[in-house]
Amino acid sequence: MAIILLIRHGENDWVGKRLAGRMPNVHLNKKGQDQASQLAEILKTLPFKAIYSSPLERAIETAQPLAQLKEMEISICANLSEINFGDWQGKTIKQLQRLKLWKTVQNNPSQMQFPNGESFVNAQIRLVECITQISEKHEPTDLIACFSHSDSIRLLVTNFLNMPLDSFQRININTASISSLTLLKDHISVPFINLIDIRQFVTQFTEVEKKTSK
């Protein structure tokens, strides 16, 4: 039982271009580092009881400024990691968009099994188990930060809202955005999704437009 903030890692050079997946050595770029420091500034007054992170560098690097300010350890959780995209990992988005299975990812993700990787179904189970275990370790009023990835956060939000898995692509998660879950015994709620720095609000509209028109 806990209040959980799900925070996506900051920008890196792969975002929107190539599927980084679990590749090692994908680090935050300058913008990502700035986002991580801004996040720490925004969040530093909150009474966190624990900070968890995916084992990937970009998530840990996003968590570090907050952990430093709060003088807290980052607990690494393998199950908060990105989807195992198997053979798709490292490919450019352009390459992947040409594949037949790309449509399955977009329209029927519940049917998608990444070649030599995970299915969204199994990824969702792994993530939900991980968050449930974390929340069970804590008191209902404990505030927990979990640094993770776009698809992982969307799969979690989808599960806890009881949305169909096939609809998970309908939720948008920006880099360095904050979403939330309150997991109580008799009530689960999602107080907000994809909270971003309000100064970024205007830029967001132009960015998504570019992405959609591609």
Sequence-distant (6+) residues with CB within 8 A of 72 are 48, 50, 51, 66
* Identity of the residue numbered 40: A
Other Cβ atoms less than 10 A from the Cβ of 14: the count is 18
Distances (CA, A) of 72 to 149, 167, 206: 21, 36, 37
| Shortest reach from residue 169's CB to another protein, in Å | 8
* Identity of the residue numbered 106: Q
Using CB under 8 A, which of 92, 95, 133, 189 touches another protein? 189
| Shortest reach from residue 106's CB to another protein, in Å | 11
| Shortest reach from residue 84's CB to another protein, in Å | 25
Q: Does 205 bind another protein (CB under 8 A)?
A: yes
Residue 122 or 172: which CB sits closer to another protein? 172
Residues 113-152, one symbol each (x = binds another protein by CB under 8 A, - = not), give ------------------------------x---------
Residues 146-185, one symbol each (x = binds another protein by CB under 8 A, - = not), give --------------xxxxx-xx-xxxx-------x-----
Q: Look-up: residue for tokens 């959980």?
A: 4
Q: Do residues 201 and 41 touch, judged by C-beta distance below 8 A?
A: no
Which of 77, 83, 69 minimizes the C-alpha distance to 21? Answer: 83
Which of 149, 184, 145, 136 minimizes the C-alpha distance to 50? Answer: 145
Using CB under 8 A, which of 68, 132, 136, 208 touches another protein? 208
The count of chain residues that interact with another protein, using the rule CB under 8 A, is 35
Q: Which residues of this chain interact with another protein, rule CB under 8 A?
A: 3, 42, 46, 143, 160-164, 166-167, 169-172, 180, 187-196, 198, 201-202, 204-205, 208-209, 212-213
